[in-house]
Amino acid sequence: MLQLNFGFGALEADFWRFVFVMTRIGAAMLAAPLFGAGTVPPQIRVIVTGAIAVLVCAWTPVVAPPALLSLTGMLSVANELLIGLALGFALQLSFAAPTLAAELIGGGMGMSMATAADPVSGASSPALGQYFAVVLTVIFLGTGAHLNWIALIVESYRTFPPGTAWLAADRMELMIGFAGTMFTTALLIALPVTLILLAVQITTGIISRSAPSLNLFSLGLPAGVLAGITAMIVAAPMLTDMMVDISATAVGNAAALLAQ
């Protein structure tokens, strides 16, 4: 069976076109860090995906494969999934930078043991990672970057028309470059605090060697936590600027995948 046929003619063709358009949008929503979070009900994701698909069907001349259940149709669906996942994953890589920075800072402060279940990713993350994720989410939504990302999804139907264009190998190389940028950004976020923590740990080590009777853990752990919190308060303005840059970079990475 190559195509389901319920005898509704043009209405049926529009229905399958609508479902086909939802494939790319749904894959992008699933891979994105905010829209694909475990706390977002699946019904909400389906409603948002359908709403965007209605706009795409109205604004762009998207044509579904004539035989959606044939081999050619399945390859077109796989292409839609690949493009959607790439757009969402480009956003995901940028959002992972604060979590990596929180791992570095938490390790220096001795707070690696303070982990909690992250409702966004579903995995365990340090307490500082929760704080960074909340700040980045607020800034991302406050600057309207999510609207720019949704606009890129709509624009992707002009850059990669369904059934005519696949993601080339150079786009996959871009994804690898995005991963390198993620590690660099995480290092820049954690560097000021970790330098201060390094100085505190060196000082604590010198004191413990000078006075062996002192308990290193009872002295070093509170000093590291206090120095880390103080350094984060001092570096808060810089952290905000970094989060704004991450939001812009996330959308810029997704736009780079669509560049000709």
Q: Is the pLDDT of residue 233 over 60?
A: yes
Q: Is the pLDDT of residue 219 over 60?
A: yes
**Calpha distance 127→115 (Å, rounded):** 6
Determine the pLDDT at residue 208: 72
pLDDT greater at residue 193 or residue 209: 193
One-letter amino acid for residue 69 of the chain: L
One-letter amino acid for residue 116 of the chain: A
Determine the pLDDT at residue 215: 65
Q: Is 29 among the domain residues?
A: yes
Q: Is 2 among the domain residues?
A: no
* β-strands 124-126, 115-117 pairing: antiparallel
Q: Is the pLDDT of residue 5 over 60?
A: no
Q: Is the pLDDT of residue 243 over 80?
A: yes
Residues of the chain with pLDDT > 90, as a percent, come to 0
Q: Is 52 among the domain residues?
A: yes
Q: Is 5 among the domain residues?
A: no
pLDDT-derived band at 232, boundaries 50, 70, 90 = confident
Note if the pTM is more than 0.85.
no
Highest-confidence segment of 53-57, 58-62, 63-67, 158-162: 53-57
Helical residues (DSSP H) of 41-122, grouped into ranges: 42-59, 71-109
Determine the pLDDT at residue 236: 80
Residue pair 23/68 in contact (Cβ under 8 Å)? The answer is no
Q: Is 187 among the domain residues?
A: yes
Residue pair 92/253 in contact (Cβ under 8 Å)? The answer is no
Q: Is 3 among the domain residues?
A: no
Domain range for 248 is 10-258
Number of domains in the chain: 1
- Mean pLDDT, the chain, rounded, equals 78
72 C-beta neighbours (distance < 10 Å), count: 14
pLDDT-derived band at 1, boundaries 50, 70, 90 = very low
Range 117-155 burial, b when 16+ CB lie within 10 A, else e:
ebebbeeebbebbbebbebbbebbeeeebbebbbebbee
pLDDT greater at residue 165 or residue 244: 244
Q: Is 4 among the domain residues?
A: no
One-letter amino acid for residue 75 of the chain: L
Chain segment 111-144, per-residue pLDDT in tens: 666 565 555 555 566 677 778 888 888 888 888 8
Determine the pLDDT at residue 165: 64
User: Token match 């389901």: residue?
Assistant: 4
Q: Is 161 among the domain residues?
A: yes
